[in-house]
Structure 1
């Protein structure tokens, strides 16, 4: 298929779709590539904000330092269904099935590109790539030598520092990066109260490449991060104070011990590659990582939270303690037995024989209310560790046939006395393979699959079939069918969340076992998606224009939608969801100085669980204009919009203006200003996520030498 339009043209390639290096038109699915120029022009300080440039990606915030990135939506508070890789290392946490975007120890200044596979990709990366894969790729140290110093300062407490130095010793190139980041998060909640959600982090990353000989290379990386995230004390007081006539109410109301999270991350990874020939290579990668999220505080509550009678009511139905909460905090109710007896029995279905338990709990609390509350040390500490090793073999078997096969072994561990009652371990083994075959000049067929054995979730097999017809060498129509799974995380399948009291003070209690316990049922099945896709990818070289269009239908069964919480925790596989729609992305280098970019997604959906009906915008997208002006001035203007994110509209206009000054022959200084302006006046995802002003700005200065 040699054609004049390819003369002198270097086709772009992607690496993350099938583990084979491919041109965009050859990929069996839809890819979004965010390159270094686009990342820099966006002015984004965090990866989730970059994901707004990806069609169909829904970005939500629980707090200023906790964001959720979901492809096509589903639960607003948990992002469980995207595999996220940093240089091939998974940062998808096994314990709570989430990604801590704030705490990834990689500076955004060190990111070369981000490849996003939009659609199921368990066939290439195993369970948890249910909806897609985000692969964050660092700039190789040999491509970024010298020293860079950068400072960023702005409103909302923004203050970021970055420093890196790259050098070479013999056949080894390395880059050491140090960075710090902080901001104050949202300003206030919907009640006008201060929102304690600031963050602070410091991190170090050392990345190196060593050329062992003509065919063998080593890529190695180590990193560490420490920081803290402000979190309001989230312990829910059973008998919430409402009456200053009682000592208990006054002391509990005055008690406000913080439960800020201390976050620490450590990792080391190594990748060895041997180019045996121009058509055959083998690669071995391994890594170890450890994550700590430590939160400790002192809780105060009524001594009835340790009552065996309340535990018996909780075991009969967790709705009953919630109703008792209403009763205990209203003297008019707990002083009127006839009312609450009828209310519990008639409205909530409490068996009449359990009424004596209710009366006992009410009496215990009434007796204790004139004195101080019970107080004890509490924690939600969690430590997670992962070890992984993977071997893959890539070879070109014939001019029209190539493939990759490999295997992977992983060990995951989560330790928390509060969340798991100790330690949970898992062992995962994977075998994968992908074939790319051209039976005719204009046709390409793909077959890929992953077989996986998970000790906690059982075995699974995830296939993908695709066919492409090439209209021209860089223009292809595609048809894709794939299946993928997500394994229940350790919390969903192995939780034993309860609070063990330490250093208990206050009135005597009849027992020291907390009444509530979230105990996972075990035996949950894997979530499964069946996806069909038709699409087009084309690159018009003479016009500098790239277009990708995707039409999709996705059917998810065995969905686990229940939130991770200590009360009302009943995870099941009873939910389901269906997504259908279309997406497009257009990237056009209109002139040598102007780059225009458009994304749009239309998503029609149904979900059986109301919690999965919130974070899907029916219409969403972005429009960007990047411009290189004379005198080394660069500007960007980007619009983001979504018509419904947790029932809220989102529209924002971002602008960045930068000027580079040459200093001598090898040094430069760049000054940049970034401005973000919300075009709507709604809370970000949740009503309490509010700012005093619609605009955010920050200034940065970067010195390179």
Structure 2
């Protein structure tokens, strides 16, 4: 019996054998008849020519999901793991790793990176682009630093907007449902001079998860409003200018996430009683602004020059009044923190008076024997415990703090695409980028960075059955140094639309500013309470400043085939990936020790099948098997060994559309996930130029687990919402 690791390869072997008998047929089929992808190498390619694995989620699929947010659409991507910190913070990780951060995926919107430079993450809820304006989502499943630079370590998601010429007229949509869902969308397409444009405005609101695992209300609702203006201007017969502007503002509910050193444990004391009643929240006000220009000049039918530039600014503003024991301003506690941040965490248990921890002598000896506290520092422990005990009959220390963060990015890129010969083409270019992050709390001011890139890809056909690809990205990062990321690939074509591929690539991820350059402490503004002496908070988390880049080596073999007569496309991938020098530690002020000591290895296979079974029926299946090794337990949390989806889309008589989609994963942060989504929509033609669409979306959880975390709980397994859309 074959090992489960190799079972996913059986379809590839059988399919290859079955096609051998007609491999010589139709060798001259024009590639222009095939679906194409744009994001893999910056060259327009058919799926069978891509040096890697691609998933393209088209407009029909996006609509069929009924999804209100992009991460839910990405559940259709094999190997993609979707996790939630709370109702406002989703993470998409390819093949998994850490549940709290999506540090290793480059995310683009029309070629503009929305990967935050300061915190190495993507705020999916705050992207100023409506789902209704998305034409397609292209996902390169695997490392693609060679094309898009560091941070495309495990994959690239490119979200492509519907061009304005395809969205003229007026479109109004309202969506309402349970869990506080209230969405509004409106767009107007218009023409002026040599330009076509679309103005979209939208708002989104919901209440997030209902309760935590203790049954308490969960404050994780969100509200946002956004505007997006997109246009194309024809400058001449050969030149066009695409432009886009957008802004977003909103608020994300978030409970106070300050880590209290001395949590309340006995409300007979004034301190504990006041702390138990203290319910300050740290809601986040989010604002985003961007402007983007993309100039294209077709110098000849075989030569195109492009220049793209954009500027964007993100603000995440969060401030509240924190309260804690006066000992957090104790010089003795700071000395203990400087000796090792584990010691204040142990003192946290002591101050809670939990069992034998209430005996300071026992606790102090535990610190020495287990955690290695130098014995000469034991008097400091006694002093901190005594100071807190003396303060418990009084008020806590309270002060105003914030975790405000502002991030800015400017980038300009030039790209040159040339068909050098019938069997040889290339794309090459370079870019300059400036990133800045500013926060008095997280960085002690401002940190900036400059990145320069040079990239190139060469595609060569020595024979009609062979396609060879080579590419490289040279990147100089002022904070992280120089890196070179290569990729080589070879395709053997069984038919023009059926190829076997072998790919080797290397990729890097640069430490973000937060990991490497944090200078994180809390300033005691408007301090009140029984604080004597210093007003300096005990914890100071400083980035090491010398973190290395994470490095990945990837090996892939696969098959991609498109059966034109059947409307059937198949992609099968086998992979072996290793990531070294990983930065996997939790980044908390009381436990800030990032290093490059972690390692992960992913081995397995993925399959995706898309079949237009009839003119009315479309079937889509995905499956991923991932066998993984991770030295850091945090990188084991969001990797499901088995995951996938099954979708059936149907067009019924009477202009009725329906979809039924199953999503499943056997292990997401040690929790099973299974959900069945259904959507039914009816179109009513009002006039020759106007129509009304009504759609009902229903999602039903087949499991009874919290979503990613135990506190992410809904009171009902069902979510439903009704949409009404008017086009005229």
Where on the TM-score scale, by shorter chain, does this alignment land: which range? over 0.9
- Structure 1 equivalent of residue 15 of structure 2: none
Q: Say whether 1:339 aligns with 2:362.
A: yes
Alignment of 1:314 with 2:326, yes or no, is no
Match of 2:353 in 1: 330
After TM superposition, list the pairs within 5 Å mapping 1:444-463 onto structure 2: 444-463=467-486
Q: Is the contact made by 2:78 and 2:607 (CA closer than 8 Å) also made in structure 1? A: yes
Q: Which runs of 5+ in 2 are unaligned?
A: 1-23
Change (3 A) 1:402 1:376: same
Q: TM-score, normalised by structure 1?
A: 0.99
Corresponding position of 2:210 = 187
Q: How big is the shift at 1:335?
A: 6.6
CA drift of 1:322 comes to 1.3
CA displacement, residues 67-103 of structure 1 (integer Å, 9 cap, x when unaligned): 1100000011111000000000000001010000000
Q: Note the C-alpha offset of 1:395.
A: 0.6
- Residues 268 and 634 of structure 1: is their aligned pair in 2 closer, same or farther, counting only changes over 3 Å? same
The whole-number CA distance in structure 1 between the counterparts of 2:432 and 2:662 is 43
Aligned to 2:186: 163
Shift, 1:304, TM fit: 0.8
**Distance in 1 between residues matched to 2:30 and 2:494, nearest whole Å:** 18
Could you tell me which residue of structure 1 aligns to residue 708 of structure 2?
A: 685
Alignment of 1:281-320 (within 5 A): 281-320=304-343
Distance (whole Å) between structure 1 residues aligned to residue 624 and residue 359 of structure 2: 56
Q: Structure 1, residues 535-591: CA drift from partner, whole Å, max 9, x if none?
A: 111100000100011000001100110112111111110100000101010000010
Partner of 2:168: 145
Give 3-state SS (helix, strand or coil) of 1:357's partner.
helix
Q: Tell me the distance in 2 between the aligned counterparts of 1:123 and 1:338.
A: 58
SS at match of 1:259: coil
Alpha-carbon distance between aligned partners in 2 of 1:153 and 1:432, rounded to the nearest angstrom = 46
Counterpart mapping for 1:417-432 below 5 A:
417-432=440-455
Match of 1:279 in 2: 302
1:195-594 alignment, distance < 5 Å? 195-330=218-353, 336-594=359-617
- Pairwise CA distance, 1:371: 1.5
C-alpha separation between the residues in 2 aligned to 1:296 and 1:675?
Answer: 37
Partners of 2:28 and 2:496 within 8 A in 1 = no
Q: How big is each residue's C-alpha offset from its partner over 1:497-519, in whole Å with a ceiling of 9 and x where there is no partner?
A: 11011011111322111001111
2:61 counterpart (11, 19, 38): 38
Q: In 2, distance between residues paired with 1:336 and 1:391?
A: 67
Q: Deviations over 1:609-642 (max 9, x none)?
A: 1110111111100000000011100000000011
In 2, the alpha carbon distance for the partners of 1:341 and 1:701 equals: 65
| TM-score for the superposition, normalised by structure 2 | 0.95
Equivalent in the alignment of 2:149:
126
Looking at structure 2, the residues matched to 337 and 412 of structure 1 have their Cα atoms a distance apart, in angstroms, of 48
Aligned in 2, Cα 1:153/1:611: closer, same or farther, shift over 3 Å? same
* Aligned twin of 2:6: none
Measure, in 1, the Cα distance between the counterparts of 2:82 and 2:609. Answer: 21
> Does the 8 Å CA contact 1:491/1:520 hold for their aligned counterparts?
yes
Query: Equivalents in 2 of 1:662, 1:138: separation in Å?
Result: 26
Cα-to-partner distance string for 1:165-213 (whole Å, 9 max, x where unaligned)? 0011121000000000011111111111111100110000000100001
* Mapped partners of 1:189, 1:332: distance in 2: 26
Q: CA deviation at 1:332?
A: 7.3
Paired residue total: 705
Q: Bigger CA drift: 322-331 or 20-29?
A: 322-331
In structure 1, what is the equivalent of residue 125 of structure 2? Answer: 102
Query: CA offsets per residue over residues 104-127 of structure 1, 9 Å max, x none?
Result: 000000000000000000000000
Question: 2:588 aligns to what SS in structure 1?
Answer: coil
**RMSD value over aligned CA atoms?**
1.3
CA distance, structure 2, for counterparts of residue 407 and residue 163 of structure 1: 37
TM-aligned CA deviation for residue 345 of structure 1: 2.2
Secondary structure of 1:640's counterpart equals strand
Deviations 1:393-434 (A, max 9, x none): 001000000000100000000000110111000000000000
CA–CA distance in 1 between the matches of 2:555 and 2:586? 29
Residue 71 of structure 2, aligned match among 41, 48, 54: 48
Contact 1:304 1:509 in 2 (8 A): no
Preserved contact between residue 120 and residue 484 of structure 1 (Cα < 8 Å) = yes
For residue 10 of structure 1, report the CA deviation from its aligned partner: 2.4
Q: Secondary structure at the match of 1:691?
A: coil
CA shift digits 1:16-74 (9 cap, x unpaired)? 00000001111111100000001001101110001100000011111011011000000
2:645 & 2:635 partners in 1: Cα distance? Answer: 24
1:9 positional shift = 7.2
